[in-house]
């Protein structure tokens, strides 16, 4: 019970030495550190995938054997993960818990909110490797990438040079702010 209360108290005094994550208990930190060591002793006897924790393997095996214990309350769909069932049920209830802080829009799934926020913030996180263009959505990058398949060698060289120039500007800009 004490461990449970610590997890919900908000205080996270145990910091991982390998990444910025912090944890409320020493046992949570120890459990997390396994991830960095890539120790995966729990191996699926069907496909060979390995997992760090027994419960991860158990859940994985449900995909192989078709076990779907979580049923939608509104239709016949079933799910391996409770979270997937909950997310699906929003299609029936209309619940949209992920609200934009810049406008009135709300979303049923967090990834849709993240994509929407980029319209406000102007973030083009999907960068073309063949030219300096960048895009807000992965689907936009895929469409753009198809345009490069007919590039001639001169265009490829020009694009590579423009990309290198753009990256050089970013490196210089990032060094200016440092002491």
SS3 154: helix
pTM for the model stands at 0.49
Residue 177 has pLDDT above 60, yes or no: no
Considering only 55-59, 101-105, 163-167, 170-174, which range has the smallest mean pLDDT? 170-174
Q: Could you tell me which residues come within 8 angstroms of residue 126 by beta carbon, excluding any fewer than 6 positions away?
A: 134, 135, 136, 137, 138, 140, 141
Q: What local confidence, expressed as pLDDT, does residue 79 receive?
A: 94
What is the per-residue DSSP string for 98-147? EE-SSSS-EESSHHHHHHHHHHHHT---EE-SSSS-EESSHHHHHHHHHH
Residue 6 has pLDDT above 60, yes or no: no
**Better-scored residue on pLDDT, 123 or 87:** 87
Q: What is the mean pLDDT of the chain?
A: 82
pLDDT tens string 26-45? 888 888 887 777 778 899 99
167 confidence band (pLDDT: 50, 70, 90): low
CATH number 1.50.10.10 is the correct assignment for the domain at 68-123: no
The CATH architecture of the domain made up of 14-65 is: 2-Layer Sandwich (3.30)
Structure tokens at 53: 């924790």
pLDDT tens string 106-160? 999 998 998 888 888 877 878 887 888 888 877 888 888 888 888 888 888 887 7
């Amino acid at each position: 019970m004490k461990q449970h209360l610590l997890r919900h108290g908000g205080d996270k005094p145990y910091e991982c030495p390998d990444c910025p994550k912090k944890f409320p208990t020493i046992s949570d930190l120890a459990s997390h550190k396994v991830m960095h060591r890539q120790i995966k002793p729990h191996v699926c006897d069907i496909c060979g995938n390995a997992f760090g924790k027994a419960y991860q393997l158990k859940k994985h095996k449900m995909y192989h054997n078709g076990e779907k214990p979580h049923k939608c309350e509104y239709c016949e769909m079933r799910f391996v993960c409770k979270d997937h069932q909950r997310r699906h049920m929003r299609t029936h209830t209309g619940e949209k818990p992920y609200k934009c802080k810049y406008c009135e829009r709300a979303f049923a799934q967090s990834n849709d909110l993240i994509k929407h926020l980029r319209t406000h913030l102007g973030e083009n996180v999907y960068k073309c490797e063949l030219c300096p263009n960048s895009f807000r959505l992965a689907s936009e990058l895929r469409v753009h990438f198809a345009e490069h398949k007919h590039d001639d060698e001169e265009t490829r060289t020009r694009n590579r040079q423009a990309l290198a120039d753009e990256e050089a500007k970013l490196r210089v800009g990032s060094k200016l702010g440092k002491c």
